[in-house]
Amino acid sequence: MEKFLIKGPTLKGVRGSLICSGAKNAALPLMASSILFDGTVTLKNIPFVNDVKTMSTLLSSLGSKVELFEKKKIIKITNKKKHKLVVPFKLISTMRAGVLVMGSLLGKYNKCSTAMSGGCSLGDRGIGFHLEGFKKLNCQYKLRKGYINIIAKNGIKGNTYKFPKVSVTGTSNLIMASVLGNGKTTLKNISIEPEVLDVIKFLRNGGAQINFTGKRTVKIHGVKKLNGCSHEVIGDRIEAFSYLCTAAITRGQIKINKINPKNLHTELNVLKKIGCSVSIKETSIEINAKKNLKPIKIKTSPFPGFATDNMPPLIAVLTKVKGKSEIQENIFSQRFQCVPELNKMGASISIKNNKAIIIGKDKLYGAECISSDLRTTFSIILGAIAASETSIVNRVYHGFRGYYKLDKKLKNIGINIKKIS
């Protein structure tokens, strides 16, 4: 099993620039929604991370023709025959986003059977909202032997559904299920994450009729078919923030290109508040971290709030900021899995209910750590590059699920990192 060997600290701070990858959290639902289209769809700026490769295999197993052009960052998906309607466990067990094919299969065929999905272990990330929404659209479902069997006997029928709590995958799933349905569907309290808006843009390009009637409300008029089209995936705001944090924790300087700063408005304000100098242009962000950063108190919340995915990297940064910082996690109950690993390095972080209390230290120390999810991997890496001596990070396959060419990008900005078996 692959590990990272990281020699810290990065004394002069990271220096350099990086091109932001396409957003994994947009690419996966875009690929899942391709089932709804007739003909060929072309997706550009694709990050060829492990989850994308798993989704490609999943779509191929269901009957799509999937062509990968990694050097060009392009995937072409063609639908010429009816898809299989059973999503096997072995292809969905490592990737939570696999649940998104439920909406597209239901939207296209009014029926599907899907194994329960995997991915990161982050507490209560159930799909109850999805299933209740499907019921509103005239579907019935049964859980049997680890599979969710869903059917709309008389087809998807438009209705109104309000999410009890904002759900990113739930929003995408219900939109996909509705675009080819009968009548009008109104979805309220939806997610407005940039990645969800990217999916809506893609579906509209193919002919879907989706219109916002409020900040978190969309009305969908079912159409008979979607036509193949091309679409460029937005830049990955989570990756961008993670690399900005490499400069913050090492008191360095970095520029991230090919990213929309508007999608990181709240996070950039946080970096400014702790004392980083932030410069933005239309498609780039540059930060210069000063020596004396300041503690902060923040809460995670749905977009446009501070993203839960960006919380673990920020925790790592705050371990090196003198004073008391607090982060309240309001999205996922087990998002603090980075904490015991950072504490191994000498950090002082305690958890009380859904709040992390961080007392900044002058020094962190190398340690052997183990990652348990995607964003924890980067949080541990941040601790390691700021720590004295050498750290070993185990189970780094989690990181490769979402960060394209992770170790190579880190090397490019001056980090002493080596992948070992």
Which phi and psi (to 5°) does residue 343 adopt? Answer: -65, -30
Report the interhelical angle of 237-250 vs 265-273 (nearest 10°).
10
Q: Which of 120, 139, 245, 369 is catalytic?
A: 120
Beta bridge partners of 66: 77
Element (H, E) at 74: strand 74-79
Nearby residues of 18 by Cβ (< 8 Å), 6 or more positions away: 243, 254, 255, 256, 257, 409, 412, 413
Nearby residues of 377 by Cβ (< 8 Å), 6 or more positions away: 371, 393, 395, 396, 398, 399, 403
Measure Cα distances from 3 to 166, 382, 407 in Å.
36, 15, 11
Return the SS3 of 201.
Answer: helix
CA distance 388 to 390: 7
Lookup: tokens for 3: 């590990």
Q: What is the DSSP letter of 373?
A: S
CA distance 190 to 168: 8
CA distance 95 to 81: 25
- Residue 110 C-beta-side C-alpha neighbours within 13 Å: 9
120 catalytic? Reply is: yes
Lookup: tokens for 38: 């007739």
Q: What is the 3-state secondary structure (H, E, C) of 275-320?
A: CEEEEEECCEEEEEECCCCCCCEEEECCCCCECHHHHHHHHHHHCC
Q: What is the DSSP letter of 258?
A: S
Nearby residues of 86 by Cβ (< 8 Å), 6 or more positions away: 112, 113, 114, 147
Catalytic residues: 120
